[in-house]
Structures are given as C-alpha cells and as structure tokens.
Structure 1
Amino acid sequence: MRPLLRQAGTAAATLACPVPAPPSIAATCRQLQHELDEARAELTQVRSLLERTREGERAARHLANHDGLTALPNRRAFLDKLTLALVQNRAQGRDLAVMFIDLDRFKDINDTHGHRVGDQLLAIVGTRLTQAVRAADIAARLGGDEFACLLQHAPSLAHIAQVATKLFDGIAAPIQVGGLSLHVHASIGIAICKDGQTLDAEQLMARADRAMYHAKRQHCRFCFATQEGGVSGV
C-alpha cells in the first residue's frame, strides 16, 4: 500500500511542476530578427565612423599639400610633382619648363589696403594662373607673393614664351577687390629641363628663381635661364 502512495505522490509532484514548453517558431524568428537589426545598426555606425575617419584623412592630406588661401598646391606638393614629372619626361624624352613668378610691389598693396585685401588679390591671382595653363600643367603658390607653374610638356621656346606672356597679361589685368581696382605686375623666371639633362627639382627651381630676379632687376616681363646657368631677358 505504501509504495502505491509514494508513486501517487511522485505523480502529483510531476503534474505540479510541468516542463516549460519550447518557444514557438514565430517567437524565435522575432528574436533573431531583433538581433539581426541590432547587428545591422552597429555595422552602419561602424561604416559611418570609418567614412568620417577617411574624410578626415583626405582633408588632412589636402591641407598638408595645398595652400589654404588659394587652394593651389603648396611648395612641397609642387616639388613632389616636379620631381615626378622630371622622371617621366626623361623616360619619354620630352622637355619641361618651370616658371617662378613673383608679384612686384605687392607689399605696397598690403601696406596701403591691409592684409585682407592683399589676401583676396592673391586668391584671384591663383585663379588666373590656373585658368591660364593647360589642364595637364600645374600652378602652385610657393608662399607669400610667390607662385610657380610647371609646364609638363614644353615643345618649343615659342610655346613657353606664349604661356609666360599669357600669365603676365593675366596677372596685369585690373583686379577688383570690393570697390578697389588694383593693378599688380609679375616678374617671371623660366628654367627648362631638356631631354638628357639630369637636373633635380631643387636645381631647376633655383635656376628659375635666379631668372626671376634678373627679370625684376631689368624690369622685363620674363627671363629664361640658359642651359649654362645664366639668364636672358625678354
């Protein structure tokens, strides 16, 4: 009799504590969908953060290689591009030319009208230089009132002189800043690296710089650096 009572008690306990039923398929799907949505949201956040980081890196590289006032390549970027162009042109057997450009009496404009007007004038000059050269060529601001242009392919002295004249005339045209009509002229020094020469970027720039100072002293539009390192005015 007692064994029967113990069995009955065990059965009653089993009925009082039933085994939990497994979750339905629908509930499981809802949970999985919720987890998937959370994972997608986290992935979107990571992608957004990564893109902002890349944009920041691109902006930093641009600032490191461009002039903040004119948005032109700066001296470092110009020298890098010139170095690359010299290597490419030697391989292709082509000549290239560098123009060193200095604005005459720019300090007088700054002293008379202030640095804000001077900065606007420099920005306009930078735009005019970019518009005056071919898309394959490069205009840059070296600093202060000094600019440079790289002619990637210089087929003849006549072509180089034509471009220099275009640059000179473009800079000399009246510049409107607010209610002011400003006039500024440039002294341009030109150095050519001919096929077969082994000049590096700094040497070529130094030649163009010397030619620019000769143009300034002689009050001529531009001067060429000769292959021997001298200068000849135009």
Structure 2
Amino acid sequence: MGEPMTDQNEKPARRVLVVDTATSAVVTGVALVSAAGTVTTLAERIVADQRRHAEVLTTLMRDGLSEAGVAGTDLDAVVVGTGPGPFTGLRVGMATGTAYADALGIPAYGVCTLDAIDAAQPVGEPGPRLVLTDARRREVYWAVYDAGRRIAGPDVNAPDALVGELAGTELVTAVGETRFTERFGFVGADLVTPTVASLASIAAEQVLAARPAEPLAPLYLRRPDAVELKDQKRKSLLPAAPND
C-alpha cells in the first residue's frame, strides 16, 4: 500500500497491529491512529476460546490484516496487552506480538489490559469504577478507575476479600462478568474484553512519537500454575513435622 492517510497538518497516521490474550478471549486487529490521536478500527477479531489462544491467534491476525487491506510491511507498530492475565494465555499474546514486531523491525508497546477495558467503556456517571477479569483459582484481577485514571490496582484477590478491601470505596459501577460484579451489587456481562480501539488509544502517544520500545513486562501478579504445582509436589515429598 502507499503512504498512510494524513490529517490537515499532513502528518502521517500510523497503522497499528493490536494483540491481547490476557482475558478468556483473543482480541486482535488493526487500528489507524491519526496525528491528532484519534483511533479508527480497520479490523477487529474477538474470539472467546481461552484453551486455544496459541492456535487461533496467528490466523486471526492474518485475517485482520487482510480485512484492513494492510500488509505487515505497512505497519508502524504493534500494541500488546500485558495483562494482568493467567500465565499461559498472556504469554501467547506477548510472545507473538513481540516476535511479529521484531521480524518487521517496528516497536511493540505494552498496555495494561484492565486500563484498556476501562477505556472501552462509556464515560458514564462520575466516580470510581471497578474493572474485574477472571484470574482463575477463584480469584479476580482488578483495578479501580476514576475519569479514565487508575486509582487502585492492578492486583489479584479472591472476590470476597476484594469486597472487604473496597468496602470504603463508593463505586458507581463494576465492569466484569456478572458472577464477579454481583458481589458488588452490579450487573455485569457474559464476556468482558478490551477492544482494538481501546488498546490502541492508550498507546497512541507512544505510537505517534515513534518512541523506542522497551522490553514488554507481563503483569502476572502471581507465579504461574506450573510453579505452584511443582511447589506443592515438593512439599508432599518432605517428611511430616512431629505435630502433623
């Protein structure tokens, strides 16, 4: 393709590949970031299949680029959701996005997935908004936002423990699956994810400035399941204490 579209100041817009696998869904697509920071979604794929992130991601990326009419060599950056998220799923998106950027010689910018979920919501009533995602092991990842600014988190807790921790916060709403938001008195949804536009919008300033990319830092917030299981097995092999 030719040069990216330009705004009234004749500054080129930036084409961005977006990838996020921190939730139960794979989110990927292509966005156009104008010189003014406005984000337009050229293609978007959101598929809920947390057990097949690695299998479906590259296919969805290819389909998104094709729909947008953008070749890999036309891209200016890759934006990757860095979680928090379960170890295996999150690692798939981060590794794939980083490898794609490296292969093309373009920067990859990391975005907190919870920030992007908040940014995807309507502005709504002023006040603290809780964003929740499934952390498995009967826990949730969470953060609290006010007017688009994160004021608490991200962290991981059991839902009931989080209710106690946020007891003094007058939440205006909670965003997440209903099984989690109902603990706080709010109706949620069956699936909550960031969008291509919300992920790209958070990284827009970096993308437009073409800032040098730094190594992406995943927000695991806890050790991966494999490590936990290994520790449990090690403990089971230790001799019992006298009082056990």
Q: Provide the TM-score with structure 1 as the length reference.
A: 0.24
Larger Rg: 1
Q: What TM-score, normalized to structure 2? A: 0.23
Relative contact order higher in (CA < 8 Å, ≥ 6 apart): 2
